[in-house]
Amino acid sequence: MTNTKPTLVIGATGKTGRRVAERLTNAGLPVKAASRNGQTHFEWNDQSTWGPALEGAGAAYITYFPDLAFPGAADTVEQFAKLAVSMGVKRLVLLSGRGEEGARDAEIRVENSGADWTLVRAAFFNQNFSETFVESVRHGVLAMPGGDTVEPFLDAEDIADVVFAALLDDKHIGQLYELTGPRLLTLGQAASELGAAMGRDMQYVPITPAQYAADLAGHGLPEEVAMPIAELINEVLDGRNSYVTDGVERALGRKPRDFADYARAAAATGVWDLTEVAS
C-alpha cells in the first residue's frame, strides 16, 4: 500500500511515536504528529480534539496515555476507533502491553471496530532506562520493583520498525505481533549490562511500588498516574511475561536488537555521562 494521505501518529513525542513519525517522514510520507502540545493537538480526555486530528488521515498509530490497563481505557479506544473508521481512517495500528487484562480488552475493541487493524503488544522498553530513568542510571542505581523476575527487554527501535511496516504493508492486516527482545534478563543483570556500557558500577535495588511511585512523581509524572503505573509495573513483572517471542522476526524477518547493543549505543550518546551533573 502507498499512503497518499497523512498518517496520524498519536503520542508523536513519545518513545515509539517519535520514532514512527521519523520513519514516515524519512520515507517522504506525510504525517500528522499528534500530542498535547504538538502540531496536531490531541488529548485522550478531550474528544473535541479527535475529529480534527483524524481529518484527512488515511491511517493512525494509536498509543494510549497513561496505559491501556487503566480503567475506562478500552471504552475510550473503542470510541476513537469507531470514529476513525466512520471518518474513513480504516488502517489502525494499536500499541498494547503484555500481560495486561485491560490492554487485551482494548485490543478486542479495535479488532471489532471494522478497521484494518494490527496489534503490536510490546515488552518493557529498553529506552525506559535512557529516556525515563536517566538520572537514576546516571548515578549508578536502578531502583524498581521486580526483584529477580526475568524480562525480555525490547528496543523501541524494533517497535517502530514493526509499526512502520504495519502501516504500509497490507500483509500485516489482522496480525497480532507480541514483541520481545531476544533474551531474558533480571533487572540486576540489566543494571550490570548498563554499567558495563558506561564503564562504571551499576546496581539494582528492589523497592516497593509506593517507593517507585514517589520516584516517578519526582521525575514529573502526575501523582494520580504515578501510583497506578507503579502498581502495574510491579504486577507485570511478576513473571507472567518471562518468555521470549518471535514477534519481531515474524513481522520483519530479522532478530530483535539485543539489550547489550542498546546499552552501548545509548552510552555512546552521552545520555548517562556524569560530567554535566558533577559538583
Contact of 20 with 71, CB cutoff 8 Å? no
Predicted local confidence at residue 279, as pLDDT:
38
- Residues 174-208: b if buried by 16+ CB within 10 A, e if exposed: ebebbbbbbebbbbbbbbbbbbebbeeebebebbe
Q: Report the relative pairing of strands 150-151 and 185-186 from DSSP bridges.
A: antiparallel
**Sites in the chain below the pLDDT cut of 70:** 1-3, 276-279
Domains and CATH numbers, the chain: 7-122 (3.40.50.720), 124-153+182-242+257-272 (3.90.25.10)
pLDDT for 277? 45
pTM of the model: 0.95
Where are the alpha helices (H) located in 113-219, listed in sequence order?
128-131, 134-138, 156-168, 187-198, 209-218
**Which residues touch 79 (CB under 8 Å, ≥6 apart)?**
47
C-alpha closest to that of 128 among 105, 108, 153, 103: 153
Dihedral Cα 1, 120, 48, 55, nearest 10 deg: 0
Please give the backbone phi and psi of residue 242, each rounded to the nearest 5 degrees, phi first: -85, 60
Q: What is the pLDDT of residue 3?
A: 58
Given its phi and psi angles, is residue 253 left (phi above 0), alpha (psi -120 to 50 degrees) or beta? left
Each residue's pLDDT tens digit, 169-210: 999 999 999 999 999 999 999 999 999 999 999 999 999 999
CB 150 within 8 A of CB 181: no
**3-class DSSP state of 37:** coil
